[in-house]
Amino acid sequence: MNKLTILTALVAATTLASPALAGDSEGKLQVKVMATGVLPDGKITALENNIIGLPAGSQTYANDNVVPTLAVEYFASPNVSIETICCLTTHGVSGTGAIPGTQILDHVMILPATVTLKYHLNAGGGIKPYVGAGPSVFFFIDEKPGATTSALGGTRVKLDSQLGFAVQAGVDIPLGDSGFGISFDGKRYFMNTRLHVFNAGGTEVLTTKHKLDPWVVSGGVSYRF
């Protein structure tokens, strides 16, 4: 899946960089192809249903991941823009605290649907730092129970998609007037979810609320036209 995402991003960047679309360092549209580190938390904040018998002091964390991302940005004015991103990131969830080394989720893919309103400053020489903020929803795909969850009778897992919020800061650095540049971006998401675990009979045997709140840091190339 990551290879397909990389290919899609490269094709998009190549198309936009074709002679048919002349670059413009002050153009209305900007596309970025970036490498992105996704650094989630995954901490349990509430235990709402515990038929499965999770011991007191149980805690969880989600692993980090590095993925390609594609960002598309529209400039409504020289200083104000709207940006959305496209990526898929895959994670597992393990136990800590009273359950160290356990495997809670073997696999989950996250699609972070995010739109931010950004304000750009002019630092001189075409360098433009920016800040932004906006709503986000994480869509969880293909959740699979880990070995420990399965051993305790959990045959199916589900994570809730909920509305959250993101703030960001970064900088765009042009490489001449051709429209090409390099970009660095950091986002902090404020996002909660609930994990539902079901047994073979369809009974919900565990419900936990989690704080994800990932840091998402990116760097890559941009093209404005």
Pick 177 or 51 by higher pLDDT.
Answer: 51
Q: Does residue 4 register a pLDDT over 80?
A: no
Instruction: Kindly report, residue by residue over 31-40, the tens digit of the pLDDT.
Output: 999 999 999 9
What is the rounded average pLDDT for all residues in the chain?
91
Instruction: Kindly report, residue by residue over 186-225, the tens digit of the pLDDT.
Output: 999 999 999 999 999 999 999 999 999 999 999 999 999 9
What would the mean pLDDT of 126-133 be, rounded to a whole number? 97
CA distances from 30 to 17, 42, 57, 81 (A): 11, 33, 47, 10
* Fold of the CATH domain 2-224: Porin (2.40.160)
**Residue environment code for 144-168, b if the CB has 16+ CB neighbours within 10 A, otherwise e:** ebbebbbebbbebbebebeebebeb
Every domain of the chain and the residues it spans: 2-224
- CA–CA gap between residue 197 and residue 158 (Å, rounded): 7
pTM as predicted:
0.86
pLDDT computed for residue 25 by the predictor: 83
- CA–CA gap between residue 76 and residue 58 (Å, rounded): 48
- Give the amino acid at 93: V
Instruction: Kindly report, residue by residue over 142-185, the tens digit of the pLDDT.
Output: 999 999 999 999 999 999 999 999 999 999 999 988 999 999 99
How distant is the alpha carbon of residue 118 from its chain centre?
A: 18
